[in-house]
């Protein structure tokens, strides 16, 4: 998918999350339809990547919400809304297309190591979200260590920054709209906690690890 088209889908998805979060089933149907359309434009090449990201992202989000790290305004069937896994699947596919760093592999696979790391990161946030600076320090140490060890490639820095910037911006807009709220944040958006200080690094690592699960 062309980067401009991916950005357009990402922007439309963000607007839809802001406007229709109060109707969980309608939002799920619209995001699912948008996802099918986006995947079809690319000849369904990213379907396996989408499905793996959807399953793992949805699992991690439900664990974090269950732990109390954040909550959604309208979730009637699980801890997180039904549309959330679809959103994760499309986020990974679209950010990958926008990054254009040459690291993508059209053959979807599965990395158990990356899966363990994603679950470990989720449990860290779920257990320590009340200590915002400690979580920030944890993500910073992990990020540096993974680059120094060679697990992350220098060529992936751009993709990670794309994920951090786009993901954090999307979340800030959705928080302002009332879709979800974090339990603890030094930053404020109106009467609610804003985006936590660790969120950009969370998106940075979540995306780079997720692309390894669905490599």
The model's pLDDT over 18-51, given as tens digits with 9 standing for 90+, comes to: 999 999 999 999 999 999 999 999 899 999 999 9
What pLDDT, on the 0 to 100 scale, is given for residue 209? 94
Query: Does 107 score more than 50 pLDDT?
Result: no
To the nearest 10°, the Cα dihedral for 102, 39, 37, 159?
Answer: -30
Mean pLDDT of 169-174: 96
What pLDDT, on the 0 to 100 scale, is given for residue 45? 92
| Token duo for residue 190 | 């109106």
Mean pLDDT of 89-105: 81
Mean pLDDT of 192-202: 89
Percentage of the chain modeled with pLDDT above 90? 85
Which residues face 192 on adjacent strands?
A: 189
- Per-residue pLDDT of 1-20, as tens digits, reads 899 999 999 999 999 999 99
The region of weakest confidence among 99-108, 128-137, 167-176, 199-208 is 99-108
Query: Does 153 score more than 90 pLDDT?
Result: yes
């Amino acid at each position: 998918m062309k980067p401009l088209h991916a950005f357009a889908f990402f922007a439309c998805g963000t607007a839809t999350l802001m406007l229709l979060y109060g109707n969980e089933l309608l939002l799920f149907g619209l995001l699912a339809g948008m996802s099918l359309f986006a995947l079809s434009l690319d000849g369904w090449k990213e379907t396996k990547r989408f499905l793996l990201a959807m399953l793992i992202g949805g699992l991690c989000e439900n664990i974090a919400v269950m732990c109390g790290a954040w909550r959604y305004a309208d979730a009637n069937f699980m801890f997180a809304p039904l549309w959330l896994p679809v959103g994760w699947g499309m986020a990974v596919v679209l950010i990958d297309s926008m990054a254009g760093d040459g690291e993508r592999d059209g053959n979807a696979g599965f990395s158990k190591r990356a899966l363990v790391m994603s679950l470990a990161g989720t449990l860290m946030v779920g257990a320590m979200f009340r200590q915002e600076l400690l979580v920030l320090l944890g993500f910073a140490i992990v990020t540096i260590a993974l680059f120094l060890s060679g697990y992350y490639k220098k060529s992936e820095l751009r993709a990670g920054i794309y994920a951090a910037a786009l993901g954090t911006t999307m979340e800030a807009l959705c928080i302002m709209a009332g879709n979800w709220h974090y339990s603890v944040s030094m930053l404020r958006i109106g009467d609610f906690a804003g985006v936590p200080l660790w969120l950009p690094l969370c998106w940075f690592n979540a995306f780079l690890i997720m692309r390894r699960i669905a490599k």
